[in-house]
């Protein structure tokens, strides 16, 4: 990781998307070193796309059926693939004081070639919700963006009031 002393982030460039696991987790590979790693997007959560332990927890928390949560997860993933494709080059910003999650995935803000932050695009367009589970320094800002999407009924919020 390259550390930018002016910001509290590690800045990593020349990574290409190898796999889109779901709408908040990517597998990336460095263009030169060929290092591969999994990146979990900071500050957001998206419904799961397959049965797992977290899906059961989400079902209990939201009182939404598993089948609907999976459908919403695929809708969010489809949105993500409309703005990011396998092979795309990205930049990863990782907070120096909060770099990994409980599952040892690197946390990151993913910056697209357009300069847009993927985390924020998902929130603005209603395909992710702000979440404390993967804390980030932008959490308060992300909660406001999320609330705006919810109030305007965009993305997943066009179908449901919460997830």
Q: Which residues are catalytic?
A: 40, 48, 105
The torsion angle over the Cα atoms of residues 72, 59, 109 and 113, rounded to 10 degrees, is -10
Q: Are 90 and 113 in contact (CB under 8 A)?
A: yes
| Residue located via tokens 């066009």 | 158
Q: Determine which helix (DSSP H) or strand (DSSP E) holds 9, and give its type and residue range.
A: strand 9-22
Q: Alpha carbon 35 to chain centroid distance?
A: 21
d(CA 87, CA 16): 5
Q: Are 92 and 110 in contact (CB under 8 A)?
A: yes
């Amino acid at each position: 990781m390259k550390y930018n002393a002016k910001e509290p982030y590690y800045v990593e460039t020349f990574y290409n998307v190898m796999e889109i696991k779901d709408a908040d987790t990517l597998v990336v590979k460095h263009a030169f070193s060929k290092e591969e790693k999994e990146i979990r997007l900071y500050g957001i959560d998206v419904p799961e796309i397959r049965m797992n332990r977290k899906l059961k927890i989400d079902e209990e928390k939201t009182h939404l059926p598993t089948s609907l949560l999976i459908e919403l997860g695929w809708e969010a993933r489809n949105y993500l693939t409309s703005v990011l494709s396998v092979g795309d080059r990205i930049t990863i910003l990782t907070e120096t004081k909060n770099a990994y999650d409980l599952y040892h995935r690197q946390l990151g803000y993913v910056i697209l070639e357009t300069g847009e932050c993927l985390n924020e695009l998902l929130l603005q367009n209603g395909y992710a919700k702000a979440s404390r589970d993967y804390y980030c320094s932008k959490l308060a800002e992300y909660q406001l963006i999320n609330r705006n999407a919810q109030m305007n009924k965009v993305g997943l919020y066009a179908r449901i009031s919460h997830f």
